[in-house]
Amino acid sequence: MLRWLTERRRRRILATPFPTHWDWIIDTNVAIARRLDPERRARLRDLVQVFVAVKHWEGCGGMEVDDEVKVTIAAQACILILEREAELYRDVDSILVYPSSVKTSPRQPGFFEQPRVMAGQGAWIHGEAMLGGPVVLAWDQVLAGGREETSGNVVFHELAHKLDMASGSVNGTPPLPNKRERKRWAEVCTEAYLKHRKDVEEGFPTLMDSYGATNEAEFFAVATETFFCRPAALAIEHPRVYAALADFYRIAPFDFASHEVMVQFS
């Protein structure tokens, strides 16, 4: 019954024409979307229209949440599920948007805050994903990540955490179809995480942000950012991680990436 009601609501939302100015917002603020083929662009538009309508949006710290804010965030969030089921975001109910990075009150930092600090200090966070709770995003970081693909992307990062949470546990393993796939994921990503952590600890340069060395959940979120922002580099340097992410997201982002040298993989 719930699935039927969800689909009915989805059809009702999509019966309304896609606002023409939303295309301008996506083209201006979400660089990766500009190179989607027509079929994927149409799929993205549908996902964005539903995402904007069904999520609860709240501005914080004097932030006004208008169409530009909603569509920019929704388009980046929906890139991750372009070839997946929208139900993976069922735990994403509310999105809180601040004008810029916000300093939390002194406390033990939340498990998914970016970046983390020592207990007892206030933390400047760009975003946060809460288990069973809202997603918090800093608007200036949302814009920076959306407009410049080769940098980090706070929306990709925090929504990857929500995908991780959809598996029922928070360990860097998103929902996978069977035991065999979960075992493969654990082998590939645990090995890559341990190597990444070792490289960070020893001061070696890394493709993926050093924040991914925090724990396996953060490794998945950072790897997701790299997968969509620097796909060819990830495929070259960490081919098994790239393959695991491509299987999960069911997409090969270097097919439509332009800032890197493209290579062919068998």
CATH of the domain at 231: 3.40.390.10
CA angle 41/24/54 to nearest 5° reads 65
**262 domain residue, yes or no:** no
pLDDT at 112 over 80: no
Q: Judge whether 133 lies within some domain.
A: yes
The predicted structure's pLDDT at residue 121: 53
Round to whole Å and give the CA distance between 108 and 122: 9
Reported confidence tier of residue 108, pLDDT bands at 50, 70, 90: low
Q: What is the reported pLDDT for 110?
A: 52
pTM across the whole model: 0.89
- pLDDT tens digits for range 28-45: 999 999 989 999 999 999
**Cβ count near 125 (within 10 Å):** 24
Domain span including residue 161: 12-255
Please check the confidence at residue 192 and state whether its pLDDT lies above 90: yes
Position 216 pLDDT exceeds 70: yes
Tens-place pLDDT, residues 46-104: 999 999 999 999 999 999 999 999 999 999 999 999 999 998 998 899 999 999 988 76
pLDDT given for residue 106 in this prediction = 57
Range 136-161 average pLDDT: 93
- In a domain, residue 264? The reply is no
In a domain, 263, yes or no: no
The per-residue pLDDT for range 170-181, each reduced to its tens digit, is 899 999 999 999
| 2 occurs within a structural domain | no
pLDDT in the model for residue 120: 43
In a domain, 260, yes or no: no
Q: What is the pLDDT of residues 245-264, one digit of tens each?
A: 999 999 988 666 544 433 33
| pLDDT on residue 7 | 86
How many domains does one find in the chain?
1
Residue 11 predicted with pLDDT over 60: yes
Q: Would 1 be classed as within a structural domain?
A: no
Q: Tell me the mean pLDDT in the region 206-211.
A: 95
pLDDT of 145 over the 60 cut: yes
Concatenating the DSSP letter of every residue in the chain gives -HHHHHHHHHHHHHTSPPPHHHHHHHHHH-GGGGG--HHHHHHHHHHHHHHHHHSEEEE-TT----HHHHHHHHHHHHHTTTTS-GGGGTT--EEEEESS-EEPPSSSPPTT-BS---TTS--EESEEE-TTS-EEEEHHHHHHHHH-TTS--HHHHHHHHHHHHTTTS-SS----SSHHHHHHHHHHHHHHHHHHHHHHHTT---SS-GGGGS-HHHHHHHHHHHHHHSHHHHHHH-HHHHHHHHHHHT--GGGS--SS------
Question: What rounded mean pLDDT belongs to the chain?
Answer: 88
Q: What is the pLDDT of residue 188?
A: 97
Whether 3 maps to a domain, the answer reads: no
